[in-house]
Structure 1
Amino acid sequence: MGFSFWGLVVGLAVLAPNLLLLWFPPSVAIPATRAPRPLIWLERAGQASCLVVPAITVPGVVMWEWAIPVLVALVGYYAMWGRYLLGGRDGTMLYQRWWWVPIPMAVLPVVVFLCAAAWLSNPWIAVAAAVLAAGHLPVSAMAAPSGRTRR
């Protein structure tokens, strides 16, 4: 245990755009999800652990080449938030397919954390990302319009 500045940065970088929902709520409601409770608990545990674990675990040898995929996934995630804001704040856009990526607003944060685990040589971040993926991806897929992702 310890403190990781870069881990804190990664966690906050993924969390920060979610705060946009406070100031720019959806003009069209976010689809209601009827996900099983265990999946929702797993999703919440993954979200919490992805915010806390990177900051409270000391990184190993920093592998700077892995910072590039972290940044690419993060830029993609921010682009999806831009699509939401510029697309009239339609809540269903948070779950729509982008190019070949289904539910990118769920997939890209998982990719950010998995790449950050490699970047910071920290297997605990990978475990947190796996828990996030196990809950967040199916719950988001269930919330996607018509039960599936669209283009």
Structure 2
Amino acid sequence: MGLHYKGFLISLLILLPNFLLLRFAPRSIPKLTSTSILFTVFERIGQITCFVLPILYGRKIAEQPIDYITLLMGICLIIYYLCWIRFFGGGREFSLLFKPLGPIPIPMALFPMLYFILLAYWLHSYLFVVPALIFSIGHFVNSWSVYTQIRR
């Protein structure tokens, strides 16, 4: 355990495009029904822990060898960034946040989930697996709910 810039980087890389939403909000946000509060709580708890744990365990992250798992994490980031480019390039329409990428539904939800699950696997850490799964469950259910409401 210990701080290291690589721990900050792991969290920052996935959060970076989201910071742009603070200045450039989505357009045409439809009226949506909310999902279960349980899944929202799961998502928020998972988000907080998935973003904080890499920072706290930065030294462990810095000690890990670069391998095929880090390559897969990088691919997840690239696809995630491409979806963000599609969103901003498409006029920031809310529906673009949930638009499928080929056969992949809700890619802007799935690729961050995969990123954190791969991080847990890369670190061989149950401490990271639990928040990654909690985040994934909440994020998937909430995103899928919005996706199905938009498609109607």
Per-residue deviation, 1:10: 1.2
Q: Which amino acid aligns with 1:84?
A: F
**Identical-pair percentage:** 31
Between 131-140 and 53-62, the greater mean CA deviation after superposition:
53-62
Structure 1 unmatched runs, 5+: none
Structure with the higher fraction of residues in helix conformation: 2
Q: For residues 33 and 68 of structure 1, what CA distance do their matches in structure 2 show?
A: 38
8 A Cα contact 2:87 2:97, kept in partner: yes
Q: For residues 110 and 32 of structure 1, what CA distance do their matches in structure 2 show?
A: 23
Q: For residues 134 and 34 of structure 2, what CA distance do their matches in structure 1 show?
A: 20
Q: Which amino acid aligns with 1:18?
A: N
Structure 2 CA distance for partners of 1:33 and 1:16, relative to 1, 3 Å: farther
Q: For residues 31 and 125 of structure 1, what CA distance do their matches in structure 2 show?
A: 35
- Cα RMSD for the two superposed structures: 2.1
Per-residue deviation, 1:145: 4.7
State how many pairs are aligned.
149
Q: For residues 124 and 11 of structure 1, what CA distance do their matches in structure 2 show?
A: 16
Between 128-137 and 2-11, the greater mean CA deviation after superposition:
2-11
Per-residue deviation, 1:147: 5.8
Aligned to 1:20: 20
Aligned to 2:147: 144
Aligned to 1:96: 99
TM-score (norm 2): 0.87
Aligned to 1:51: 51
Structure 2 CA distance for partners of 1:68 and 1:96, relative to 1, 3 Å: same
- Residue number among 66, 79, 84 corresponding to 1:81 in the alignment: 84
8 A Cα contact 1:47 1:132, kept in partner: yes
1:75-127 per-residue CA deviation (whole Å, 9 max, x = no partner) reads: 01000100100111101110121112111111100111112223333332222
Per-residue deviation, 1:144: 1.1
Q: Which amino acid aligns with 1:70?
A: M
